[in-house]
Amino acid sequence: MDSTKSSFNRPPLKLLLLQYLRSKGRAPFPFDGHFREANNITFLNANEETLKIILRDIQNASTSISIHTYILGNDSVGQTFLNLLLKQAQRGIKVSLLTDAVGTQIPQEWKAYLQKGAIQWVSFNPVLSDQSYTQNLRRAHQKIILIDDKILYVGGFNLAQEYFSPYPINPVPWVDFCLRIESKKLEFISKYLRQIEEFSPTTECFAVEGNLNQDEINNRYRFLMQDGLHGLHHVSDQVNKALKSAQEEILIFGGYFFPSPLLLNKLVKAKKRGVVVRILMSEHSDVPWQLYASFYIAQKLSKKGIEIGILKNRVLHGKALVTDDKWCCLGSYNFHFTSNLINLEMNIETIDPQVVSNLKKHFMDLFNNQSELWHDYQSGHFLNHLYWRCRNYLAYLITLIFQLIYQHHFKRTDQ
């Protein structure tokens, strides 16, 4: 009788095998590590409703608010955030704000405003500071909002008007999104944010908590950092694993799409083994030369059978990856060498079915209903003409040269 109970309570053979492979670093993706468990994870598109939700959470803060953003817009949205942060700081709530010195040019009146309100404001890595050339290139590109160590927003949008609401020169908000995570175990994020604010080297925050099997997927997430200058490559490592292990489908939100040759090769190999590969780009960008370079890559990938959708009449700023209806990764990390090698980036990967489903649904809606396939787009817009081909190739060539310089320089730095 006792032996029967013992046998009955033993973990299934499949789970034991999975745990053994994980201990040897050979578990199948995405179960090749441990995920944190949240109370709730919600996918949110950047729009006026999401802005209201964020502002409401900040309004309800009781102890602390930390915001890291590449751009704080000198517009109505930026001013709304500043006013609310000042109000909360005056209530005795600890408020910290980090903006990037290149991305955000803080007006003089705002500086006095921040100091007046006792807001701890950091302008990350001022240009031409007394640092090495390499350090001066490093930018804080992550977008994070942490409230009371219990609510976390991680996404790709900055705190500026073009992401949330239309205005005369931008009739439709840019395409972007975020994840809202509720959890009582977010203190490790506070530690990470403080390291950035104090210009300290970032440390490992890779989640190692509890055991995970293939039945434990709801509200599971992992915090990914990319800080190439200090040897952290969580985002790029997971992206490469996802592309290599995909069996059915790969969906990419490709804002500022200029990945490494290695990643492009993985996409082509995935297509050859029968995986459906779709990439969404846009016909408009705030960095036109980068868009033209992406068009050259789109032309090459299209010839390999990869489906390229060109989003019409909107700027695609979001960056995300979905594979096989079971895993997704989104955040500030661009499929671009600057994100890979030097910028501070933060993404969230999750296997939560609802989040993965919502992100895929959003992709397919944009791809099928608001985009034009590359073949039709280039035919309709005369991209086959010599001028267009030369322009795209020149933009690609210039960007590739910069990529090679970055790669060579940072290899030498690592040595």
Give 156-178 pLDDT, tens digit per residue. 999 999 999 866 666 778 999 99
pLDDT mean over 176-193: 91
pLDDT mean over 259-279: 95
**HSE (CB half, 13 Å, CA atoms) of 366?**
28
Beta strands 64-69 and 94-100: pairing type?
Answer: parallel
Two tokens, residue 96: 């910290």
User: pLDDT of 202-223, one tens digit each?
Assistant: 554 444 334 445 556 788 899 9
One fold for 38-203 and 225-415: yes
Other CB atoms closer than 10 Å to residue 221's CB: what's the count? 22
| Helix then strand then coil, % of the chain, to nearest 5 | 40, 25, 35
Q: Which position has the token pair 């985009």? A: 371
How far, in Å, CA of 157 to CA of 172, rounded? Answer: 15
Other CB atoms closer than 10 Å to residue 163's CB: what's the count? 28
User: pLDDT of 353-402, one tens digit each?
Assistant: 999 999 999 999 999 999 999 988 887 666 567 788 889 999 999 999 98
Other CB atoms closer than 10 Å to residue 36's CB: what's the count? 21
From 238, 255, 65, 90, select the one nearest 156 (Cα to Cα). Answer: 255
Options 1.10.1530.10, 3.90.79.10, 3.30.870.10, 2.40.30.170; which CATH number does 225-415 get?
3.30.870.10
- Specify the pLDDT at position 211: 44
Specify whether the backbone of 118 is left (phi greater than 0), alpha (psi in -120 to 50) or beta.
left
Options 3.30.870.10, 3.40.50.1360, 3.40.50.300, 1.20.120.330; which CATH number does 38-203 get?
3.30.870.10
From 369, 375, 293, select the one nearest 338 (Cα to Cα). Answer: 293
From 194, 229, 182, 208, select the one nearest 341 (Cα to Cα). Answer: 229
Point out the least confidently predicted range of 142-151, 193-202, 240-249, 390-399: 193-202
Let me know: does 239 contact 339? Beta carbons within 8 Å.
no
Query: Taking the domains of the chain in order of start, what are their residue ranges?
Result: 38-203, 225-415
Two tokens, residue 391: 């322009």
Task: Give backbone dihedrals phi and psi of 329, rounded to 5 degrees, phi first.
Answer: -145, 130
